[in-house]
Structures are given as C-alpha cells and as structure tokens.
Structure 1
Amino acid sequence: MGTRIRFTRPDGKEAEGYLSLAGKANAPGVVVVQEWWGLQDQIKGLCDRFALLGYDALAPDLYAGTVIPYHDSDAALREMQSLNFLDACDQVVRGAALFLLKSSPKVAVAGFCMGGAVACLAACRVPEFSAAVPFYGLPPDAVAKPADVKIPLQGHFANSDDFVTPENVDAFEAGLKAAAKSFEFYRYDASHAFMNEQRTVHDRHCAELAWERTSAFLKKHLW
C-alpha cells in the first residue's frame, strides 16, 4: 500500500522511510517510529493501518536499511545502543514531521518499544507535533523528564514488561501529574510488544483496545 521515499532532515541531509497515504487532500499525518528491530514489515503494516484511518503515515528508517530478525535480540540491542537518539529525534523524526506538514494540517507521533521512547522524546523536543502516542517505551529521565512534555500524550503499557516496568510507568505518570500535563496512560494485562502480531507476545484483545483508544485520541487532537 505504501512506498519507500526519501525526505530531508532539518540539517539538510537525506533520510529514508516508508510512506502510506490516506488518499485524500489535507489528511492529518502520523510519524510512526520503529521498534528496535528496524523498519520491518510489521511497522510498515501499522503505517498502512493509519492510512486506512485517514492519516498520511510515515515511518522513518532510523537504522538506514538494517532490519534485525526477531530471534536475534542481541543484534537488536547492539543496533539500538549504537543509535544516536537525539539525532534520530531532532533530525530524522523531525524531518519526517516536516515532510508530512507539507500537505498535512497537523501531525502526531506514535512509537513502539524503542520507538515509544523516541516518541516521548519528540513530545519534549519537536515543536511540529500536536500529540504523541508511545507504546511500551519511555526515555531515561536524564534525557527527557515528564515536565518536559509539551503536547498531549497517550501511553500504552504492559503489566508484564521487563524493559519498561510498571514502576517506570508509575514514576513517569506521577511526574506528568505533578507537572499538570495533558495525558492519559493505559495499562494492559499483556507482555511487552503486545501490539506486534508477528510475535508470540501479541495479545489480540489488548492490541485492538489500544488501537481503538489511539484512534479516538488522534481524532481528538488532529482533526
């Protein structure tokens, strides 16, 4: 449904990503940020699903073409650890937002796993976004604090998660409340990456519920 494109970063360099269009003029946009596996087919499929909801969706390729197979967590960890998160946020993700804003009136960011942390980071650092939806991902407090969030935030988290633990989520939520931020957090009796239908941790009921909530949230803030 979509296609691979090139777009320009704020610093003038080129980046690439997967673009899926809603097929109508002036559609709002969603920047979709990948998991630590890279820009694989499941993330492309999420772009297609956003397009069916009426959004132009662009997933920037943060790994410049590298895609990690699901069985190789060690390689995914190495790739994630080599990523410059601030550059990815300020240049690649922001560049994707600027690309969409050429034809979209408003743009949101949604991220999954590692991309959830990047989405939160973008909610603090990228002025072009109108809303953010992180899925089971939060940035380290040293990089972005809850008080730094500048746009409405909807978070989706798993109760069985060794990467973003319930304690991590509680602490970030408390910080958002203390700073009087606009947000809503949802917790699911599922495992990390429950939205990914290509993996055994996928939970259909939780994924469908999270998608419904995401759809309603984006409709509220982008239309």
Structure 2
Amino acid sequence: MGEMIEFESNGIDARGYLAIPESGSGPGVIVVQEWWGLDSGIRKVADRLAENGFVALAPDLYHGELAQHDEMDKAGELMQALPPERAARDMSGAVDRLVEHESTTGESIGVVGFCMGGMLTWILAATRPDRITAAVPFYGYPTGDDQPDYSAIEATIQGHFAENDDFFPPEGARELESTLRGLGTDVSITVHEGTSHAFMAPHDALDSYDEELAERLWPQFTGFLHERLG
C-alpha cells in the first residue's frame, strides 16, 4: 500500500515509509519504529493506519540499517548507536513533511510508537508541541537523565504498557503519568494485566504477542486519534 519517500531533515535527506488511505486523504500520524528498525512490522502498522483513514509516515531512524527479529544483540547495538539529536531531527523533519503532504488534512497530527518508538513518542510530543496533539506510546518511555521538557507537551496522551516488562517497568510509566498530570497534561496510562513487552507485535520475537488484546486496542487507539485529529 505504501511507498518510501524522502524528506529534508535539517538540511540532510532522510527517508520514511508513507501509507495513504484509499480515500486519498486523512489526518496525519507519525509511526515510530521499534529497535529493529523500519521493518515489515512497522510498515504494516502504517498500512493498517491507512486502512483506518490516516496518512501514516514512519521515518527510517536507522538510515537503512535493520536487525532481524532473531538479532536482539544487533537491535540493541543499533538503538544504542542512534544519536538522540539525529532521531529528534529526523522525526521533526517527518512531522513537517507529513503536515505539508497534499493528502494530509488539518494542521495537527498524531504519533504512535512501540518499544524504542514508544519512548521516542514522548520526546516528539515534547519537541513538537506546535503540531503533535495526540500521542499513543506503547511500552516505552524516556529513562535515565536524558529527559525531555514534559512541560512543553500540548498533546493528549493515551499510553499502553505491559504488566511484566523488564525493559520499561510499569512503575516508571505510572510515575511519569503522575508527573504529567501534575503539569496539567491530559494523559491516561493503562497497564494491561498479564502482558509482557511487545504485546502488540505480530512478529512475536519475544513470544509475547497478545492477538486478542491487540485486536481490541486497535479500534480503541485509532478511535482516540480520530477524535483528537478529526
């Protein structure tokens, strides 16, 4: 359904996967990759968002590099080697390209991210509050000392996290929810009982895919995006 496109990222060419609905137009949504890279799973997410009426753009944050789903060490290395400033720059460039695209309706867009992309979803919401009005992070949030300016967030946030997650423990998600509510942010975090990290991922690399839950959450979060974006 989609195609690779190029866009400018602070004077440097970047690429991403763009999927457009059959109607030819719709609200825009940025899709942020897992630590594997811009793989078939993330492209399928963009395609499915297009099937649900969105113009979806997934920037290639690894610039062509990719880890297979049985290469966890390589995925970790790629994630650790990703310069944060380049990731922020490429995501911001994707935001501008998506807003400017002839198929995108409205001036505001949403963002959806998974795992590493869930963590980056918070960062994009904080760095581009001028455009991001709806954010859906799945099992990921910023950790350590390198935190964004959460007070800048203007988006409404619907987050989904796993009960059993060594990568991003649910306690951290709850703490972040409390912090953001203290700042006046409209945020709702759900920790799904009995789930493990990557419960939305059909590739099932961690043997944690919960198909029944995933199929329930798709209409929930896409309905939220339509409500916020029009």
Q: Give the TM-score normalised by structure 1.
A: 0.94
Which residue among 136, 141, 147 is the counterpart of 1:138? 141
The gaps in structure 1 that reach 5 residues or longer are: none
CA contact (8 A) 1:29 1:56 kept: yes
In structure 1, the partner of 2:222 is 215
Amino acid at match of 1:101: V
In structure 1, the partner of 2:98 is 100
The gaps in structure 2 that reach 5 residues or longer are: none
Between the aligned partners of 1:109 and 1:56, the Cα distance in structure 2 is: 11
1:134 counterpart SS class: strand
Cα shift at 1:210: 2.0
Between the aligned partners of 2:84 and 2:216, the Cα distance in structure 1 is: 29
* Structure having the larger proportion of residues in strand: 2
Aligned residue pair count: 221
CA contact (8 A) 1:108 1:218 kept: yes
Question: 1:112 aligned to 2:128?
Answer: no
CA deviation vs aligned residue, 1:138-193 (integer Å, no higher than 9, x gap) = 01253225434321111010001001101111111111121121111111121101
1:157 counterpart SS class: strand
Kindly tell me: are residues 30 and 177 of structure 1, through their superposed partners in 2, closer, same or farther at Cα, counting changes over 3 Å? same
Cα shift at 1:12: 1.7
In structure 2, the partner of 1:6 is 6
Amino acid at match of 1:108: G
Cα shift at 1:86: 3.0
In structure 1, the partner of 2:213 is 206
Cα shift at 1:25: 4.6
Question: 1:57 aligned to 2:56?
Answer: yes
Amino acid at match of 1:12: G
In structure 2, the partner of 1:70 is 69
Cα shift at 1:23: 3.1
CA contact (8 A) 1:131 1:218 kept: yes
Q: Give the TM-score normalised by structure 2.
A: 0.91
